[in-house]
Amino acid sequence: MQISSRFTISLHMLACIDRFEGERKVTSEFLAGSVNCNPVIIRRLLGLLKAAGLITVTRGSGGASLARPPEKITFYDVYLAVGCVDQGKLFHFHEKPSVSCPVGRNIHKALDDKLERTQRAMEDEMRKITLADVSRDLSEHTV
């Protein structure tokens, strides 16, 4: 199972916005060039990030900017903004395992709480990591 690439692309976009805001207009075309993907994907993600209150976007060639300081944008905020979870659940469980099999009949009882604990632990860690952490690491590693 993988979290959608929308998450990492959005983090990449936010890092670019943080880095270049004030120096240049950060447009969907500019972000698409950095991410190396179609600008349509970038515009969809910009819309989700804007709806979540993480960025502002000026129509036309105005570009995007952060709506909050980078220290106030967590990985968890981005994870929620771009729809990484379906109905609050990270792990999609096959709904109808075989009741004629002892494993199939009991698999939900055996796994459900463990999967929920795993998701909670990951989300708790995501709440601790901010865009400022990413930007700081990028500035240390920029050649």
Both tokens assigned to 10: 């959005």
Q: What is the dihedral of CA 45, 134, 36, 63, to 10 degrees?
A: 50
Which residue(s) pair with 74 in the sheet?
Answer: 130
Q: What is the pTM of this model?
A: 0.87
Please report the pLDDT score of residue 92 as a whole number. 77
Residues of the chain with pLDDT under 50: 1
List the domain range (segments joined by +) for residue 124. Answer: 5-141
Single out the residue of 80, 77, 82, 85 nearest to residue 131, CA to CA. Answer: 77
Number of domains composing the chain:
1
Please report the pLDDT score of residue 143 as a whole number. 57
| Coil/strand/helix, residue 95 | coil
| Cα gap 24→1, rounded to integer Å | 37
Please report the pLDDT score of residue 26 as a whole number. 95
Domain of 121, CATH number, reads 1.10.10.10
Please report the pLDDT score of residue 1 as a whole number. 44
